[in-house]
Copies of this chain bind each other. A is one copy, B any other.
Amino acid sequence: MYTIGLIRVLTMRDEEKINLHGKMIEKAFNELKVISKCIEDQPLGIYDEISEEVAKPKILKLIKEFEAMNVDAVVVSCAADPAVEEARRTSKIPVIGAGSATASIALSYGERIGVLKLTEEVPRVMKRILGRHLVAEEKPEGVKNPVDLMQESGIKASIKALEKLLEAEVDVIIPGCTGFSTINFIDIVRKISNKLFIDPVLASGSVALGILKQLNKRGEIK
């Protein structure tokens, strides 16, 4: 059994909502137990470069708190991998970013990857990892942040954007925001298409488990 510290980059008060991503991981991977924390004062989350920069020190602080709690790994549940590069420089435990985990899993399944973006830009970390395998990108009209995505109109716009991506003959579609995990968009995609759509929270869980299995330190059954 391994314990994962998971960081939500959206400020919430409701424990059930804070724990949603962690519960998804626990349900899928029976060796992982997840403790979740969310950053303060960002009720709209991370949705552009400024909101990402503001969030970084808060994320680094939470990673330190998780390290002090002796978790086995940390997952930053955001497709932009905010503060992940910085944290890896000092952290003694694996720090997994949802963006790099999702892009990586996509590359182990196919060559032509399409990104369903939340905003104008595909997260930089995804662009960097996908390189020339990023062959198409679309964004849902009228959606500006993860909160917009949770509305009925946001879901409808996302389905339209997905349909455009499917026309591009991609092997895999990945979302550019973990908000798509929050609305369980993978279940909608499964009804529309048999193309692989990668849920970034599940991807983070599988990568965390995969990395932990490579390390010397073995999780003990508790």
Contacts and interface: CB of A to CB of B under 8 A. Distances in A.
Interface residues of A, number: 42
Give the dominant DSSP class at A's interface: helix
A209 B206 contact: yes
Given A30-B31, A214-B186, A214-B197, A207 B108 contact: yes
A-B pairs, 6 with minimum CB distance? A206-B210, A104-B108, A104-B104, A131-B131, A190-B216, A108-B207
A168 interface: no
Interface string A52-65: 00000000000000
A111 B96 contact: no
A103 interface: yes
A67 to B, nearest CB: 16
A171 B97 CA distance: 15
Interface string A66-97: 00000000000000000001001000001011
